[in-house]
Amino acid sequence: MSNKESFEGLARKITETAQKITVGATYLHYKKLHPYKVLDIVISEFDQQPYVVYQSQRELGIKFTRSAASWLDEVEWQGKKTLRFIKSD
């Protein structure tokens, strides 16, 4: 367990991420503005990084995961910089 973080360190990552991404809130994806509800912030066993668990509010409620870093990324879309996910409520 030498390369593994402590549970306290992992919990801190979740808390810090939850301050930036609101669990229970709806976000719109920048491309088509489809709504997604954030269900949880979790830690990936693979890389011990925080991931967002979110659910489509359009497509039969399918659930997805995405790294929190990717969720918070700025992207270029139609010549402008925008957030990948925009909080809608």
Domains of the chain: 7-87 (2.30.30.320)
- Picking from 12, 5, 15, 18, the residue whose alpha carbon sits closest to that of residue 45 is 5
How far apart (Å, rounded) are the C-alpha atoms in residues 61 and 71? 19
User: Is residue 29 scored above 90 in pLDDT?
Assistant: yes
Q: Sorting pLDDT into bands at 50, 70 and 90, what band is 3? A: low
Closest CA to 47 of 60, 65, 61: 65
In this predicted structure, what is the pLDDT of residue 35? 94
d(CA 46, CA 40): 18
Give the tens place of pLDDT for each residue, 30-79. 998 899 999 999 999 999 999 999 999 987 879 999 999 999 999 999 99
**Does the pLDDT at position 1 exceed 50?**
no
Q: Residue 58 has what pLDDT?
A: 86
pTM over the 0.95 mark: no
Long-range pairs for 47-51: beta carbons < 8 A, 24 or more residues apart: 48/4, 48/5, 48/10, 48/13, 49/13, 50/13, 50/14, 50/16, 50/17
